[in-house]
Each structure stands twice: as structure tokens, then as C-alpha cells.
């Protein structure tokens, strides 16, 4: 069974980036598999919490750049003559938007709640400026410089959630428009399908993938590279954070901070009393999420009445930032075994790189042909 979080595996898979400069510079003359020496193809994972870009570097390896998909809105008049040249920001009308990690720092200093340009896997309807701010961040991430010409950009989109009324049409079009304004030829790809492209070449791109993201959980069944079924469930890491915060009387930011400190679903005996309470609540909500997702997936597979009698068993690939908690995979396996699946599963394993496999799958798709 492939365990990607062993130190050895990490060391084998990842090396230090060769160019500390901005990613566009690093992509200036990267060759593409499409034959055009100056065309740059990229895979873009547009996630609720992170924007991830995958591109080929000059040695043919994959460069991964990640940007936190958050911002903070401040009124220009409040900043006065403050020098913002060292802070990542953008100005729209009278507002200033502090971007990405700088936004986090500011929010922590002043005790503000951070803004998210996306919620539940799609562009946030909460803030009218969400799409504009997202456009700036995507441009910083995938924009090309120098002589490089933008080629194809395959970007990830979620599936339509089956348990809410929302759908991805608006979100997909907006991201497509942003990408094409940068100069790339945009092409959407379901994020769970992208995981199969990145992880299942050895099974001829057949498999089931479940991507546990911050806003949504995406599921796809792919057979011989053809998507058979794609859908999303509107529960993910944010759902856990919000509910834990409500249960123990704290704010979601604090829950996230604890969650990101070596959290194990089965252990809540570390930290002070309040932290132990948060860890215990996290354990319950993680368990509930896994239970809900596995049950809903099997139910949906049954409900669609598809002919899933594939000749071979296929792997189930687990991915996404929310799946990184200790004990997560064991719990998924446990839950998977309890259910009666309408197709044969050969293995249940993590993606080799759960934080970038969607972007890698998109890149593979962009290099195709």
C-alpha cells in the first residue's frame, strides 16, 4: 500500500525548487509536450483554500506553485499614507485587498476574519469583489513573463453538488474567462477526474477518486480514461471547522490552527484543556464526514443505475488537504469495508501527492495530444 506521508517517500518525490523567483519566470522557457518550444501549458487547481499551479520546467520535471486563496479587505482611508509596497495587495475603487499569506498576517494582527474568494468549491457570493481578487491571484500564479507564450491551461472545477441547489456553471465560466484574459486557452476538468489522470496511469486511467477539499468533497468514477460519474458533496474541511467551532465555543480560525498542528483523528490527549476539547470534537466530525461521504458515494453509485460491472477491480484514490489528518486513511478503509460496493475495489490508497495531484492531472490533460 502506498503511504505518501512517509518521510522517505517525501524525500524521494520532492526536491527543493531550483528557481526561487516567481513562477512565471521559472516557466519562461519551459518546453511543452505540444511541440511549441515557447508555448507554456499549465495545470491549475482552483481550490477553496489553495490555488495550485503545475507546469513543466526545463528538465521536464513538474514545478508546483501554491498560493493561499484568501484576502483581506481594508478601506483605503484607514491605511492613510502607510507604505504598502512590501505587502501583496491590489486596489479596486476605494478598497485595498491584501492578498494571500499577507492577508493572514494582517488578519491575525488585527483580529479580523479572513475573506475567502471561494466558498464550497466555487466563487464566493459573499463578496462582490471575490472574482476580481481571484483573477489577480491566478494571474500571479500562472502568468507568463519574458518570451514565453501562454498555451493551454486546464483548470479544475468541482462536480455539481448533489446535496445543495448550487451548480458549477457560473464558477466554471468565470475561471475560464480569467484564464483566457491572461492569454491561455482555457479548458475545465473535473478535479476528481484529474486525480485519476495523475494517479492511475498503471490501471489505464481507471479508478474511483475522492477528493476531500476545504469546501466540497468531489467524487469521480473513471473507466479507461472516460469519466463515468462525477459529483460533489457540499461537506469538507470548512464544514468540520465550523461545526467544531460551534460545538466547543471558539472561532473556526482557531480550530484550523489546531487541525494543522499534527492532528490525529484518534488522539485528543495532547495540549491544554480547551485544545483537547477541540481535538476530540474534530475527531467526531472527521469520523462523521468520512462516514457520510462513503455512504453517500455508494448510495449515489446505486442510484445512478450505471453498468459498473467493470472486468477488473479498480483502485480508490483518496486525496485533498482534509484527508491529511492522521488516521484518516485507516478510517476510510474501515468505512469502505462496511459498505457493499457495486464495483470491485482493488485497493484504497492515498494519491502520491495529495496537495498537488489535481494540478498535475490538469497538467497531464493540457499536455495531451
Partner 1 sequence: MKNFIRGALLGSMTGVLLFWYAGIGDHFPAIVAIIIFVGILIPLESQERRMEQVLRTVEEIQRRLEIPETAGAAPLAAASSIDVVDAEEEPTFIPSMQADASTGRPAPQKKRTVDRSLGDVAKKLSSMQGKG
**In the window 36-55, what residues touch partner 1 (CB under 8 A)?**
54
Output 84 or 345, the one with its CB closest to partner 1.
Answer: 84
Output 1 or 16, the one with its CB closest to partner 1.
Answer: 16
Q: Can you tell me the distance from the alpha carbon of 229 to that of 237, in angstroms, rounded to the nearest whole number?
A: 23
Q: Which stretch binds partner 1 (CB under 8 A): 1-9, 121-129, 297-305, 337-345?
A: 121-129
Q: Can you tell me the distance from the alpha carbon of 34 to that of 369, in angstroms, rounded to the nearest whole number?
A: 7
Position among 48, 124, 209, 217 found at the interface with partner 1 (CB under 8 A): 124
Position among 23, 144, 190, 297 found at the interface with partner 1 (CB under 8 A): 23
Q: Which stretch binds partner 1 (CB under 8 A): 88-96, 286-294, 320-328, 336-344?
A: 88-96
Binding status of residue 22 toward partner 1 by CB under 8 A? yes
Position among 6, 126, 260, 330 found at the interface with partner 1 (CB under 8 A): 126
Q: Which stretch binds partner 1 (CB under 8 A): 160-168, 257-265, 286-294, 336-344?
A: 160-168
Rounded least distance, CB 99 to partner 1, Å: 5
Rounded least distance, CB 117 to partner 1, Å: 10
Binding status of residue 57 toward partner 1 by CB under 8 A? yes
Q: How many CB atoms lie within 10 A of CB 329?
A: 20
What residues contact residue 309 under an 8 Å CB cut-off, 6+ apart?
Answer: 343
Q: Can you tell me the distance from the alpha carbon of 138 to that of 198, in angstroms, rounded to the nearest whole number?
A: 22
Q: Which stretch binds partner 1 (CB under 8 A): 131-139, 290-298, 300-308, 313-321?
A: 131-139
CA angle 153, 40, 136 (to 5 degrees): 55
Binding status of residue 20 toward partner 1 by CB under 8 A? yes
Q: Which stretch binds partner 1 (CB under 8 A): 241-249, 281-289, 310-318, 320-328?
A: 241-249
Nearest-10 Cα torsion for 117, 195, 318, 223: 130
Position among 87, 247, 298, 345 found at the interface with partner 1 (CB under 8 A): 87
What residues contact residue 225 under an 8 Å CB cut-off, 6+ apart?
Answer: 196, 197, 204, 205, 206
Query: Can you read off the three cell numbers belonging to residue 10?
Result: 517525501
Position among 37, 246, 326, 337 found at the interface with partner 1 (CB under 8 A): 246
Output 115 or 144, the one with its CB closest to partner 1.
Answer: 115
Query: 149-157 and 185-190: which strand pairing?
Result: parallel
Binding status of residue 329 toward partner 1 by CB under 8 A? no
Which residues from 179-238 bind partner 1, rule CB under 8 A?
181, 197-198, 201, 204-205, 224-226, 234, 238
Output 6 or 204, the one with its CB closest to partner 1.
Answer: 204
Instruction: Tell me which long-range contacts 65-68 makes (C-beta under 8 A, separation of at least 24).
Output: 65/23, 65/141, 66/355, 66/356, 67/100, 67/137, 67/140, 67/141, 68/100, 68/101, 68/103, 68/104
Rounded least distance, CB 338 to partner 1, Å: 28
- Angle (deg, nearest 10), helices 357-367 and 191-199: 80
Closest to 168 measured CA to CA, from 136, 184, 139, 191 = 191
Rounded least distance, CB 22 to partner 1, Å: 5
Which residues from 331-360 bind partner 1, rule CB under 8 A?
353, 356, 360
Output 146 or 271, the one with its CB closest to partner 1.
Answer: 146
Q: Can you tell me the distance from the alpha carbon of 298 to that of 219, in angstroms, rounded to the nearest whole number?
A: 11
Please say whether the beta carbons of 354 and 323 come within 8 A: yes
Q: Can you tell me the distance from the alpha carbon of 289 to that of 367, in angstroms, rounded to the nearest whole number?
A: 35
Amino acid at each position: 500500500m502506498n503511504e505518501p506521508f512517509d518521510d522517505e517517500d517525501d524525500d524521494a518525490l520532492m526536491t527543493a525548487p531550483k528557481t526561487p523567483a516567481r513562477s512565471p519566470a521559472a516557466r519562461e522557457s519551459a518546453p511543452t509536450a505540444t511541440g511549441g518550444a515557447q508555448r507554456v501549458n499549465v495545470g491549475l487547481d482552483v481550490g477553496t483554500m489553495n490555488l495550485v499551479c503545475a507546469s513543466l520546467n526545463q528538465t521536464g520535471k513538474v514545478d508546483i506553485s501554491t498560493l493561499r486563496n484568501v484576502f483581506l479587505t481594508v478601506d483605503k482611508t484607514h491605511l492613510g499614507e502607510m507604505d504598502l509596497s512590501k505587502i501583496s495587495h491590489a486596489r479596486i475603487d476605494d478598497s485595498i485587498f491584501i492578498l494571500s499569506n499577507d492577508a493572514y498576517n494582517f488578519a491575525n494582527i488585527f483580529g479580523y476574519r479572513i475573506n475567502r474568494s471561494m466558498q464550497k468549491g466555487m466563487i464566493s457570493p459573499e463578496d462582490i469583489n471575490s472574482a476580481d481578487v481571484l483573477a489577480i491571484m491566478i494571474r500571479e500564479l500562472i502568468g507568463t513573463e519574458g518570451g514565453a507564450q501562454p498555451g493551454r491551461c486546464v483548470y479544475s472545477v468541482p462536480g455539481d453538488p448533489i446535496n445543495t441547489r448550487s451548480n458549477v456553471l457560473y464558477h466554471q465560466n468565470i475561471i475560464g474567462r480569467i484564464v483566457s484574459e491572461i492569454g491561455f486557452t482555457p479548458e475545465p476538468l473535473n478535479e476528481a477526474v484529474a486525480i485519476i489522470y495523475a494517479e492511475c496511469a498503471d490501471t489505464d486511467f481507471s479508478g474511483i477518486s475522492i477528493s476531500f477539499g476545504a469546501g466540497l468533497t468531489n467524487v469521480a468514477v473513471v473507466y479507461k480514461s472516460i469519466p463515468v460519474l462525477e459529483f460533489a458533496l457540499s461537506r469538507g474541511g470548512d464544514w468540520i471547522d465550523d461545526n467544531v467551532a460551534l460545538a466547543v465555543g471558539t472561532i473556526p480560525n482557531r480550530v484550523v490552527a489546531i487541525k494543522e498542528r499534527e492532528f490525529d483523528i484518534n488522539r485528543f490527549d495532547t495540549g491544554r484543556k480547551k485544545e483537547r476539547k477541540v481535538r476530540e470534537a474534530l475527531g467526531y466530525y472527521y469520523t462523521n464526514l468520512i462516514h457520510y461521504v462513503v455512504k453517500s458515494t455508494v448510495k449515489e453509485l446505486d442510484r445512478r443505475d450505471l453498468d459498473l460491472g467493470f472486468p477488473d477491480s479498480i483502485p480508490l484514490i483518496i486525496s485533498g488537504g482534509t484527508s491529511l489528518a492522521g488516521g484518516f486513511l485507516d478510517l476510510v478503509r474501515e468505512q469502505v469495508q462496511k459498505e457493499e460496493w457495486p464495483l470491485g475495489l482493488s485497493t484504497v490508497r492515498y494519491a502520491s501527492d495529495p496537495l498537488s495531484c489535481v494540478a498535475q492531472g490538469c497538467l497531464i490533460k493540457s499536455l495531451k495530444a
